């Protein structure tokens, strides 16, 4: 085996360890969000007729982040989107939670993007 291949295999091993740890941390953050904020999320979701789903996704090479998908029948205009994000509050950015408002027709594609099963 060439010297390059040895280094490459070692690099892949290091990346996998980093991904695994990042995935574990993102799950912990998502669980915390679920425990601490789920009632607030569902209250806002009901008000705007949205269906919330929480999970994590890969963001870059080794970073996983918690994500909240809000599924809707009718995609809201920019003013309504701002209202929704405003009602969810500052904790969204504090928790590094990425939020998407997505039409329900895209639900199957989004499920494929989730790294973990929906947490709730």
- Residue 47 pLDDT: 93
pLDDT above 60 for 119: no
Q: Say if pTM beats, i.e. exceeds, 0.75.
A: no
Average pLDDT over the chain, rounded to an integer: 83
- Residue 99 pLDDT: 85
Query: Do 25 and 64 touch, CB atoms closer than 8 A?
Result: yes
Domain spans, the chain: 3-113
Q: CA-CA distance, 86 to 40, in Å (whole number)?
A: 12
Q: Thinking of the domain 3-113, which architecture would CATH place it in?
A: 2-Layer Sandwich (3.30)
- Residue 94 pLDDT: 63
Q: CA-CA distance, 89 to 95, in Å (whole number)?
A: 11
**Residue pLDDT, tens place only, 55-102:** 888 777 777 888 888 999 887 888 888 888 888 876 666 667 788 888
């Amino acid at each position: 085996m060439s010297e390059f291949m040895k280094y490459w295999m070692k690099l892949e091993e290091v990346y996998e360890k980093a991904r695994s740890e990042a995935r574990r941390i993102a799950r912990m953050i998502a669980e915390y969000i679920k425990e601490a904020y789920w009632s607030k999320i569902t209250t806002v979701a009901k008000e705007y007729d949205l269906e919330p789903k929480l999970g994590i996704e890969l963001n870059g090479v080794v970073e996983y982040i918690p994500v909240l998908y809000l599924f809707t029948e009718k995609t809201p205009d920019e003013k309504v989107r701002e209202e929704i994000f405003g009602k969810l509050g500052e904790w969204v950015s504090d928790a590094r939670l990425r939020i998407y408002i997505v039409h329900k027709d895209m639900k199957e594609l989004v499920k494929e993007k989730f790294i973990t099963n929906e947490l709730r």
